[in-house]
């Protein structure tokens, strides 16, 4: 639910998708390679972005429940991509989502006050040996 909202923030920002590879999802037309709740396919080109929800904590009251959801954003590159270019792409994605409000267009129904906080990117290597950067997000959600 929230991974799709974070994905929408990224794909609707021209700077965030400027250097990304494209992928033909279900529409048949090339779209920015931003994958939700799955890894970049083996035949997929990089750089790509992977957005995945991974739990969180509840807070608030019975009348106004809230949660801090954890969403992980991975900006993955090719082995021959310079570390500087990959880190730059990760910083642009972080700038896109940090302190963003998930608005009416992307907000899950019944939720208000959705606010994103991003940690700085940290270098990672995926299980196939591709370099990348992990951006951990805390998405604050209040249900009204």
Low-confidence ranges of the chain (pLDDT < 50): none
pLDDT at 94: 97
pLDDT at 136: 96
Write out the two tokens for 78. 């090719």
**Structural domains of the chain sorted by starting position, each given as residue range(s) with its CATH number in brackets:** 2-143 (3.30.2000.30)
pLDDT at 104: 59
Q: Is the peptide bond before 47 cis (omega within 30 degrees of 0)?
A: yes
Instruction: Of 15, 46, 49, 17, give the one whose Cα is nearest residue 35.
Output: 49
pLDDT at 1: 75
Q: Enter the pTM of the model.
A: 0.88
């Amino acid at each position: 639910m929230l991974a799709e909202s974070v994905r929408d923030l990224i794909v609707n920002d021209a700077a965030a998708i400027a250097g990304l590879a494209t992928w033909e999802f279900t529409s048949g037309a090339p779209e920015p390679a931003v994958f939700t709740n799955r890894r970049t396919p083996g035949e997929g080109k990089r750089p790509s972005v992977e957005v995945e929800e991974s739990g969180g904590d509840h807070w608030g009251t019975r009348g106004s429940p809230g949660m801090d959801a954890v969403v992980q954003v991975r900006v993955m590159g090719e082995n021959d991509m310079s570390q500087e270019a990959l880190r730059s792409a990760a910083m642009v994605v972080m700038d896109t989502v940090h302190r963003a409000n998930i608005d009416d267009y992307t907000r899950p129904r019944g939720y208000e006050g959705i606010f994103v906080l991003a940690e700085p990117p940290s270098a990672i290597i995926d299980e196939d040996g591709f370099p990348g950067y992990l951006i951990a997000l805390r998405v604050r959600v209040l249900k009204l």
